[in-house]
Every structure is written in C-alpha cells, then in structure tokens.
Structure 1
Amino acid sequence: MDRYTVISADCHAGADLLDYRPYLEAKYHDDFDAWAATYVNPYEDLLADTADRNWNSARRVAELEADGIVAEVVFPNTIPPFFPSASLMAPAPSQAEYEQRWAGLRAHNRWLADFCAQVPGRRAGVAQILLNDPAEAVREVRRTKEAGLTGGILLPGAPPGSGIPELYSQVYDPLWAVCEELDVPVNHHGGSASPPLGDEPAARAVFMVETTWFSHRALWHLVFGGAFRRHPGLKLVLTEQGSGWIPGVVEMLDYYHGRLVAAAARASTAESRFGAGLAASMGNSPSEVWRDNCYVGASFMRPHEVPLRDRIGLDKIMWGSDYPHDEGTAPYSREGLRIAYAGLPPEEIAAMVGGNAARVYGFDLAALDRVAAGVGPTVGEIAEPLEEVPPDATSPAFAPGGSVRVW
C-alpha cells in the first residue's frame, strides 16, 4: 500500500435553483415558477462564484482529486423547491406546504441520482425524506434505492416543538424496517435538530454551543426507543457532530440504562417507574448498540479526538472533508489528515479514511484503489507531522491547539 484510498464521508451538493424544475412533477411547474420568481437565497456561499462546486461535476471531481479524495458521500446543500432555507428540518407549517416540499425533495433526489451517475461508483448520494407521513417516507426509500442512491437517507431533525412524534416513537418502525430490509444507512447530520433561537448575537452563539447536542439526541432516542432491538440490522450514522463526545455519552447512556433497569426490578420506589418496561423494550445496552449498529462521519477529525479511536471503535470512524463548505478541509485535506493521523499505523489510517466508509456505503474499494493509485495521498506523506498550518486554511481541523498530540 503506497497510497491511501480516501473517501470523504461528508460532502455536500445540490442543483442550482432553476435546474430543479425538470425534476419536478409537471403539476408543480406553475407553482415552482411563481415561487422561484420571488425567492431570495439566504446563503452567501450559494451566491458566490464558487457555488457551482455544488453541481459542476467536472470541477468537483478535479478539486476532490487534487485534494487526494477519490469518492464521496453526498449530503444536500442547496435549496430544494418550495423550501425557505435548508431542508434538514422535519416539519412543514401547512398541508399544502408539506405536499410541495415533498415534491421538492423528490426533485432533489432525482437530480442527485443523475449527478451520482455521472461518475459511477464514486458518489454515494444521500436521499432526503420527511417524517410527517412514515408511509410516504417508506415509498421514497424504496424508490431512491432503486434509482441508485447508495448513501442511505438523511433523517431530518425533529427539534422540540416540531409537532411530529419524537424519534423514539414506534410510529417510525415502518421506516426503520425498510432501511433494514434494503441495507439503507440512516444518516443524521449535525445542525439539523436545533429549535429556533432567534437572530440575536447571544442566540447565534448559543446555537453554536448547542447544535451538536441536539443532533446527538437521535442516538439515545433510537437506543432507548428499542429501534435496534426490533430492527437489529439497522445502521445509524452520525455525521459532522464531532467524535470525541462518543465514549463519554455511550458510558453515560449505559449508566442510565443499568440504573433504570435495576430500579424497575426493585419494590416500588420514586425511580422505579422511570425504568418500567425498559429492559424488554430496548434490548441490548447502549454500548452494545453502538458496537453493533452505529458509525460516525467524523468530519475533519481533530488531533484531540484521535487518541479516543479505540474507545469510539476503529471500525466506526469515517473521515470527511465537508467539501465544499468553508469549514471543510479543502483544499488542504492532505494537511488535515497529517495533523490528525501522522504517526498512526497505516492500517488504522486506511480504515478511517476510506475502508470503513466503503463497507458502510457499499463502495467498491478495489475499483477506488485504482483511482487512488494516481491521486491519493502517499503513506509517507501522511506519516509526516504537520509543522505549519496553511495560512489561509479555514477549517476547525487547524484551529489553534489542534496539533497538540496526547498519545
């Protein structure tokens, strides 16, 4: 092995606004034309001259290869039809808007299937769904799987006050069942579950502090809700939420699981009611569920997280560049890998930067190895500790103190 085969488990793409129109059912075209005529995009990066990295396939392949990356898991980024902003949230405020937004997500999924097909075997597209009607979500899972999207589904956020059932609810069992049946990963991306906080400076700061925690909630909802007991083949991937939190949170969940199950087995106490029925409903302990069913899309894994890799699980970690976001490692992904992984055994690095993602998302690793033979970072290159951060790097991977090694 001379070069690493790097698969980014966290990239983003989407069509330019008007390019979604051909992918919409015809009955929505007039509504789309009226909506698009007055729509103002709220995101500066989607108005810049670099916005076409979201849909320009040739530019994208060239920039990723220059960055040492040969394949990608593709999450959404641009605005699908009829959405006011990003489409990661579950609810829609009215039945009419709900129907239109479903149409918009189906259009995105159709576009994404075509986008992935432009470079066969190198893009695993993540399909979008809504949770308001699980039966409709099941139909879209089946359709997108048949259409060739191999990245699984994006589980929308269900923030407090959203009005839809909490993620632990068994109302979603048909969705978990079809994902298990078709081997479709359930992805939950960071930033998708926070309640609205307003736009004051304090609110924006609080959002940054809390947003990953709200995204973590999907883990304990599905664990304590028993989704993995009823669907033992279900795969959950938590992406762009960091990875250093995982060992402590899983230990905390084990503590509450053991405490509540034990309390329920004793004579009536103030705490016994909290654990009533828990052992039978959820099955395995949280740490066993993590071991058997869960993975982390560890975007730009930082050096302080790397010593935890054995506690997280070496077979669980999937590095991501977050291309084309400003906080991503591009065009310095090689440096991002060096600052995190220099000095580690090559077989461990190979698993975290590509092997694990190939297994979870079904990439043909042998085929990608042939591409990586020409563009992948060399083993010797990544083994060299990074002494100087590129001065124009914008990723948190290079934040001050990030190069401190504690192993």
Structure 2
Amino acid sequence: MTDPTDPYLIISADCHAGLPAERYRPYLEAGNHRAFDDFLGQRDARRAVRARRGIRNETSALKWQEDNEEGLRGGWDAAQRAKELDGDGVAAEVVLPGTDPVDGGVAAPFGAGLDDPEGQDPELGMAGARAYNRWLAEFCATDPERHCGVAVLPLAGEVDEAVTEIHRARDSGLGALLIPATWAGGAPFHDRRYDPVWAAAAETAMPVLTHAGAAPRHEYGGHLGIELSEAAWWPARPLWFLLWSGAFERHPGLRFGVAGAGCWWLPNLLWQMDRLYLGAHGGKKHSPFAALKRSPHEYLDRQVFVCAAAPQRRELAQRYEIGVDNILWGSNFPHPEGTWPHTGEWLRRAFHDIPVGETRRMLGESAAEVFGFDKRRLAPLAQRIGPTPEALGQPRNQAPVEACWRRARETGRHWLTGFDFPFVGVGE
C-alpha cells in the first residue's frame, strides 16, 4: 500500500518527440527518397503560407527556442530527454509526434503526424508514418520502461495496410496509436469499414488517440482566436462518431483518448449525450439509439480517457463529472503552452488543495493502467525524482481537504444523482 507521504509516480500522458525532418531518410523505404527530397524542398513554401496566415507568433516562438535550446534537444536526443524528465519529476511518458520548435523542421515525412491530412497522398502518408514509427521505436527502446510510443496511423488508404501497421508497430515495442482527428473527405469514423482497425487496436491492447492539430486553417484568415476556439472540437469530434455508431459496443476492448485539448469540454457534452439517450425531448422525437446498449457515461468510464495537458483549475474542479479516473495529466513537453520546464511549480498551483488519492490517480496511476506502464519497475525512479504531497503544498492531515470537496463528490454527475433537480429524471 502506498504511504500517503510517498513521492508521486508521475506519468505524462501527453509529450512529443520527433527528429529534425531531414534525418528521417534512413527510416524511409528507398523508393520514397525522391519524394522525400521534394518534401524537404517545400519547407520554405510551407513556412511562407503560415506567415501569410499570421497564425504563429514568430517572435514569441523564436524566443522560446532560444531560451530553451538545450532542453529542446530532448525532442529527439534520448539522453537529454531523460535529463528533462528527471528535472520535471516525470517518471514516464506517452510519446506523440509534433515537437514543433518554431519552424516545422521536425515534421515527420509527408506531413504524417498531427498535421491536417487534407490533400495528403495516402501512400506517401503511410510511408511517412512508417518512417516516424521506426524511429520512435528506436527512441523508446533506449528506456522502454519509461516511454510508451504512440504510432502514427493514417487511415486515408487501405484499411488492411493500417491493420498491418498496427501489428508491426506493436511488435516493434510501440504501445498506442494516433489516428487523424479529421478524415479529409474520406469515410467518417462511424463507417463500418474501420471495424478491422478498432478490432486490431483492441486485440493488441493499443489505445487509440486523437490529438489537437488538424483544422481548416485556410478558413481562419489569420484570426488566432478562431483557431483556438475550435482547437478542442476537432480532436474531440471522433469521440461521438465512435460512441453513437456503436463502435464502443462492438469493440468493448477498444480504449479511446483525446489528447492536446484539455478536458473542459467534456462535462457538458457528457450531460447532453446522457440526456439524449435517457429520453430527453431531443432524443424522443428522433429514432432510437439502437447501436447503444448502455448510457454514454458508461462507455466513457469503460473505454474513454482524456490526456489533459496542463489542465486548469476550472477543469480539475469538474473532475467528478468527468470522472477522476478518466483524467490523465500531461506536461505537453516541449511545447510552450505546457508545464515544462517548471512542472513542479505548476503542479503545486494546480493540486495544492486536491485530495492526495485523487491526485495520484490523475498524475500517474490511471495512465499506468491505460498504457500498460509497470508501476513496480517505475517505483524506484519515482522515489528518486517524484515530488511529495508536501512539495505540492498538500497537508498531511487530509480530512479538511476531503471535507472541502465532499459535496462536489457526492453530487458527481448531477443529472444522474439528482442533486440539482427536484424530481427523478434527466433534468428536463
């Protein structure tokens, strides 16, 4: 049993890694080298497009790179990576693509990864994904107990090829899958053509993730507020496509997570989906939800999680509606909107008055269960580098803290507990 004063086992469920783009050549099949040269040659044009759209603050981004030049090498250098993780008190991490230090120079070949797949050649997209996945497997193998690599899995091409890549990635030591957040004119994710993908993910015990990044930027006209207002919507959208189409019912072993989008959007979404399923007016006047055999919140608790990078206090206050076990904290290394390189300070501000047991779940224990980390093997490292509850400002006497949150915990999902309504129902 964990002693209440023990250091935290911290697992970041949202970190990023990737080579400088030109260094992927050895990981590509020889037949794609000429196309890769063309891809590299187009980098200046892509940068010019970004500049015209005015989305990126180049001055701020360049300063971030200059101020953190040494640490940013941890995006691809395993020794530097270990140093940065230690400094942040992070024992293990889930590794996604997209280190993105200012100029797109770390982009995986042919835009594989977090980029919008619009206009991407399916064959080149899969070739780029395989190259990235080969490199990532090597990177994670330097310390396999500490890294869970997320394989890039484009779905614009043949489904059989995607299933083959799932098994190849698993055999190489990778532990999760990143699918596109948008389908760029292809079949939406409710389509049954993807069933072999969901089945293979369940069979290999590889959680499926989406991540913020893809968006119709050509529509934004340089207005950053528009992009940021929609940033969580795009990676979250596949959730309701999978849920309402019955994918979670047909594949009960499938685990699905949304990363890079916080978790602020989930409580009201879950409330509305439960209302519809349980008989609210909007659901009654339409056809029944025959693909589902249980309420949306039951699928959420069984199969869905949120990799919440640097969740804000408002989001943590909603944890009983989201589900404490469904929130997986992330540092978002090495992005400037994350907590690195000041994670300890950030954790103290965010968790100082949250019960220690719940903090342990959100900071690492739930991620260990979802992504298959060995807590026993990580324990010595956590003892060495992890912050203690005291370091996070959490009092040894937890009774007042528990009492402070008791009402919120008992209320939980108010539409199910009935605390907010004078009658039994779904809050009509």
TM-score by structure 2 length?
Answer: 0.80
- 1:46-85 CA-to-partner distances (Å, cap 9, x unmatched) read 99463523101111110121111111100101311123x8
Aligned-partner residue type, residue 292 of structure 2: M
Cross-structure match for 1:339: 349
Question: Which of 94, 98, 109 is residue 81 of structure 1 equivalent to?
Answer: 109
Distance in 1 (alpha carbons) for counterparts of 2:265 and 2:32: 44
Cross-structure match for 1:139: 164
- 1:121-178 CA-to-partner distances (Å, cap 9, x unmatched) read 101010001112222111111110111001x11120216xx21111111111111111
Residues 5-404 of structure 1: pairs in structure 2 closer than 5 A: 5-40=9-44, 42=47, 48=65, 50=69, 51-77=72-98, 78-83=106-111, 87-93=114-120, 97-132=121-156, 133-150=158-175, 152-158=176-182, 162-192=184-214, 194-198=215-219, 200-202=221-223, 204-259=224-279, 271=285, 274-276=286-288, 278-279=289-290, 281-384=291-394
Question: What is the CA-CA distance between 1:327 and the residue it aligns to?
Answer: 0.6
> 1:227·1:282 contact (CA, 8 Å) conserved in 2?
no
Distance in 2 (alpha carbons) for counterparts of 1:21 and 1:300: 34
Distance in 1 (alpha carbons) for counterparts of 2:172 and 2:118: 26
Superposed CA RMSD: 2.4
Distance in 2 (alpha carbons) for counterparts of 1:135 and 1:171: 10
TM-score by structure 1 length?
Answer: 0.84
> 2:306·2:326 contact (CA, 8 Å) conserved in 1?
yes
Distance in 2 (alpha carbons) for counterparts of 1:140 and 1:8: 25
Aligned-partner residue type, residue 62 of structure 1: K
> 1:80·1:87 contact (CA, 8 Å) conserved in 2?
no
> 2:182·2:234 contact (CA, 8 Å) conserved in 1?
no
Secondary structure class of the residue paired with 1:357: helix
> 2:332·2:339 contact (CA, 8 Å) conserved in 1?
yes
Structure 1 residue runs of 5 or longer lacking an equivalent are 265-270, 386-405
- 1:241-266 CA-to-partner distances (Å, cap 9, x unmatched) read 121322221110112223489967xx
CA spacing shift, 1:143–1:336, aligned 2, 3 Å: same
Secondary structure class of the residue paired with 1:382: coil
Secondary structure class of the residue paired with 2:353: coil
Distance in 2 (alpha carbons) for counterparts of 1:246 and 1:294: 11
Structure 2 residue runs of 5 or longer lacking an equivalent are 48-55, 99-105, 396-406, 409-428
Aligned-partner residue type, residue 309 of structure 2: S
- 1:215-271 CA-to-partner distances (Å, cap 9, x unmatched) read 22111111101001110111011112121322221110112223489967xxxxxx3
Aligned-partner residue type, residue 80 of structure 2: R
Query: Alignment length, in residue pairs?
Result: 368
Distance in 2 (alpha carbons) for counterparts of 1:122 and 1:310: 29
- 1:259-302 CA-to-partner distances (Å, cap 9, x unmatched) read 489967xxxxxx3xx425x22x2322211111111111111121
Aligned-partner residue type, residue 223 of structure 1: L
Question: What is the CA-CA distance between 1:111 and the residue it aligns to?
Answer: 0.2
Cross-structure match for 2:426: none
Question: What is the CA-CA distance between 1:35 and the residue it aligns to?
Answer: 3.3
Distance in 2 (alpha carbons) for counterparts of 1:210 and 1:29: 36
Task: Give aligned-pair identity as a percent.
Answer: 37
CA spacing shift, 1:248–1:263, aligned 2, 3 Å: closer
Distance in 2 (alpha carbons) for counterparts of 1:197 and 1:112: 31
Aligned-partner residue type, residue 114 of structure 1: E
Question: What is the CA-CA distance between 1:211 and the residue it aligns to?
Answer: 1.8
